[in-house]
Chains A and B, each alone.
Chain A
Amino acid sequence: MIYEQPKCLPAGDRYLLIEFGNEMNLDLNFTAQGLASAAAEAKVKGVIETAPCFASLLVHYEPTLIGYDDVVREFSRLLGSLGSSDDIELESRLFYLPTLYLDPWTKACVEDYCAKIARKVPDPELLVQQNGLKDTNHLVRLHSSSEYWVASLGFWPGLPFLMALDPRARLTAPKYNPPRTDTPEGAVGLGGAANSIYPVATPGGYQIFARTPVPIWDPTGKRPAFEGSLCLFRPGDRIKFVPVSREEYDDAEVAVKEGCYDYTIVEYQKFAVRNYNNWVSKVGGANNARVST
């Protein structure tokens, strides 16, 4: 359900949570990101930061500078100025990430899990079964065909929650039960309807089937592509996984180690929700931006 009126919920003395609905729906994330970007532009006194998520926006404010009621009023006003979610246009960088699908490292990780923790269908084969695909090559073609939308970052600093923008490439998968105790750094995974990339080796629950050699997290903060941050991505960015050969993967890995890897980033595009929705209806995406899980 999409709420007629967004719900403003108090959260302690310094936060406000705004819920736009209670379903996974790209339109709700566009609204959350549109509001976040409008708030950043408006520089409302006392508003410290916002964090968009799938269907909500968390607002962090300084109560000695602005009261709770005024934060609610300001955000309702900003939301009104956004108009319908169709009118939202967002700055959106596009990252091309070299990706080795069906790589040996995620394969070894799954085999290790099967040997030590629980037997399961290997992750790529499970995705093929669950989504009615022909074979793992079909999985690779389909997964790499879409751009992915960075809906939010969390769980670990810089870890992106991604949603496929092309409705034809929307895959779903159950999560690991019990979770893995380890995941290779750079592994690409899918759980529920969300995709992600593991910034560092961590425990995890998503089905894994590919790996990128380029860092998306850099605690030294010195790589130019990170623009002073320690994380490569921001909400509202887009990612395209580019299938590469093992040789290209190794070359990129060497370049990363030697500090001369050049990220491919397109920075001159805006994401227009209306254009996107028109395109989705043209390619035959059922139910517009609705994501089934």
Chain B
Amino acid sequence: MIKVLKAGLETSIQDYPGRIGYWNQGFPPSGPMDSWSFRFANVLVGNQPGAAGLECQFLGPTLFFDADTVIAVTGADMRPALDGEPFPMWQSVAVRARQTLALGAARVGGRAYIAVAGGFANEERLGSRSTFNKAGVGGIDGHSIKAGQDLPVAEGRGTPGLLVPNEHRPDIRTDRTWTIEVCAGPNDDWIDDAGKKRFLSSAWTLSAKSDRTGFRLQGPEWTFTEKAYNKPKEHGSLPSNIIDHGYPLGAINLAGQTPIILVNDGPSMGGFINPYTVPSAAFWKLGQARPGEHLHFRLVSVAEAQRMAKQIAERCVREILVNA
């Protein structure tokens, strides 16, 4: 068991790839936003890459361990410490019974991941242990962790002293600027050439009104093609309205003039167009971007986006680890 002393900011149990197969009932996959860092945390402690771990957002938790185990912390730099003694991230570390793990506020990046040998053993809901906080599904009692809770951990065996080499870690930016890959479509033909050019050449500011359901962007106006105005009235009155349709995960959803990137806990359908889609390989960047930072978008083909995802998956394996 691990006891929660301080919860941090909506710290939640997630597994990867999450709750898959229920999109047609309105369930998002949930899961870690930066699955690159998440998978490495698991691999470091000897787990399957997708085992249930903790996602810490901006402000980390304080946890009390009642048994010896091995843990790893990856992702955003939250200066983890055991009984007040700082220890390095991106490596497996032995924890003794009755030690306290504390993570602070994120100095670099937005989300850190804690994996424990064996993984968390909370009850599965629809095939996943991931937390969908908004609807109260998965995790512990459906929500992010709370002070006083006991988090069940499965039996596991980890080896301390393993390390993810620098060159295999995601490059978490410190200059407040991110280049995010996007694929065109499904509704890019609703945006006129000037609008497309503006989207791809502007710096978009990530709003603080962003969470695991959607990332709101601030930037220039959108302009539309004839298609957005000349349509049956059941589409709705705004140029960005369309007859309700399914949303892909990562959709850049145009609600009026405000683009919202639909992320891990986002809605499955609705009545706005999605001119571009952020592919899965770029999600880790969204997970590490912070409010007020700038996003630039770079157009890639579907094939290139698929190649990038494959390269990340091939990295997040035990063979990459070295001795610290």
Question: In the complex, is A directly touching B at CB under 8 Å?
Answer: yes
Instruction: Give me the interface of A with B, judged by CB distance under 8 Å.
Output: 1, 9-15, 17, 19, 22-24, 36, 48-58, 60, 63-64, 67-68, 152-159, 161, 192-193, 219, 221, 229-231, 233-235, 291, 293
From A24, A50, A233, A234, B234 is in contact (CB under 8 Å) with A24
Closest to B269 in A: A154
Q: Are B249 and A15 in contact (CB under 8 A)?
A: yes
Tell me, yes or no, whether B125 is within 8 Å of chain A by CB. Answer: yes
Residues from chain B with Cβ under 8 Å of A9 in the complex: 185-187
Contact between chains at A157 and B27 (CB < 8 Å): yes
Measured CB to CB, the nearest residue on chain B to A14 is B280
B residues contacting A by CB (< 8 A) are: 20-27, 125-126, 132, 135-137, 142, 183-187, 231-235, 243-251, 267-270, 274, 277-281, 302-303, 305-306, 308-310, 313
Q: Is the CB of B126 within 8 A of A63?
A: no
* Set of chain B residues within 8 Å of A235, measured between Cβ atoms: 24
Are B249 and A14 in contact (CB-based, < 8 A)?
yes
Contact A230–B248 (Cβ < 8 Å): no
Contacts A58-B247, A157-B25 given; does A11 touch B270 at CB 8 Å: no
In the complex, which of the residues A13, A19, A24, A159 has the most CB atoms of chain B within 10 Å of its own CB atom? Answer: A13
Interface contact B246-A57, CB-CB below 8 Å? yes
B26 and A231 within 8 A (CB) = yes
Contact in complex: A10, B24 (CB < 8 Å) = no
Instruction: Please tell me if the beta carbons of B234 and A192 are within 8 angstroms of each other in the complex.
Output: yes
Which of the residues A56, A63, A193, A219 comes within 8 Å of B245, measured between beta carbons? A56
Chain B nearest CB: distance from A223 CB in Å? 14
A195 to B245 CA separation, bound complex (whole angstroms): 16
C-alpha gap A104/B125 in the complex (Å): 35
Partner of B270, one of A1, A12, A154: A154
A63 CA to B120 CA, complexed, in Å: 29
Instruction: Kindly list the 8 A-B residue pairs having the minimum CB-CB distance in the complex, ordered from nearest.
Output: A58-B246, A12-B277, A154-B269, A15-B248, A9-B186, A13-B305, A11-B248, A13-B279
A100–chain B nearest beta-carbon distance, Å? 25
Residue of A17, A60, A157 contacting most chain B CB atoms (<10 Å): A157
Contact (Cβ within 8 A) B186 A24: no
Q: Are B235 and A22 in contact (CB under 8 A)?
A: yes
Q: How far is the CA of A68 from the CA of B310 in the complex (A)?
A: 15
Is the CB–CB distance between B26 and A153 below 8 Å?
A: yes
Q: Contact check, B279 vs A56: say whether CB atoms are below 8 A apart.
A: no
Cα–Cα, bound, A55→B232 (Å): 13
Give me 20 other A-B pairs in contact (C-beta within 8 A), A48-B21, A235-B24 excluded. Answer: A9-B186, A10-B302, A12-B183, A12-B250, A13-B183, A14-B249, A15-B277, A17-B186, A22-B235, A48-B20, A49-B21, A52-B246, A53-B269, A55-B243, A56-B245, A56-B246, A58-B247, A154-B269, A156-B135, A158-B25
A35 → chain B, closest Cβ, in Å?
12
Q: How far is the CA of A68 from the CA of B246 in the complex (A)?
A: 18
Are A219 and B135 touching (Cβ within 8 A)? yes
Could you name 22 residue pairs across A and B whose Cβ atoms are closer than 8 Å?
Answer: A10-B186, A10-B302, A11-B251, A12-B279, A13-B281, A13-B305, A13-B306, A13-B309, A23-B234, A49-B21, A53-B243, A60-B20, A67-B306, A154-B244, A154-B268, A154-B270, A155-B269, A229-B25, A229-B126, A231-B25, A233-B25, A234-B25
Closest chain A CB from B104 CB (angstroms) = 33
Q: Which residues of A contact B235 (CB under 8 A)?
A: 22
Q: In the complex, what residues of B have CB within 8 A of residue A11's CB?
A: 183, 185-186, 248, 251, 274, 277
Are A230 and B246 in touch, CB under 8 angstroms?
Answer: no
- Residues of chain B with a CB closer than 8 A to A23's CB: 232, 234, 243
CB distance from B200 to the nearest CB of A (A): 16
Residues of A within 8 A of B24 (CB): 36, 49-52, 152-153, 234-235
| CB-defined contacts of A229 to chain B, threshold 8 Å | 22, 25, 126
Residues of A within 8 A of B186 (CB): 9-11, 15, 17
Residues on the A chain within 8 Å of B234, using CB: 23-24, 192-193, 291, 293
Given the interface contacts A14-B248, A48-B20, A230-B137, does A155 sit within 8 Å of B302 by beta carbon? Answer: no
CA of A58 to CA of B268, assembled, Å:
10
CA separation between A52 and B268, bound complex, in Å? 11
- Does B306 contact A63, Cβ atoms closer than 8 Å? yes
Q: CB < 8 Å: which of B142, B185, B249 contacts A10? A: B185
**Contact with B232, one of A22, A48, A50, A53 (Cβ below 8 angstroms):** A22
Measured in the bound complex, the distance between the Cα atoms of B270 and A250 in whole Å is 34
In the docked arrangement, what's the CA distance between A68 and B185, Å? 13
List of B residues within 8 angstroms of A14 by Cβ: 248-249, 279-280
State whether A51 and B246 are in contact (beta carbons under 8 Å apart), knowing that A9-B187, A12-B305 are contacts in the complex: yes
Contact: A51 with B249, CB < 8 Å? no
Residue numbers in B under 8 Å from A24 (CB-CB):
232, 234, 243
**What residues on B are CB-neighbors of A60 within 8 Å?**
20, 23, 248
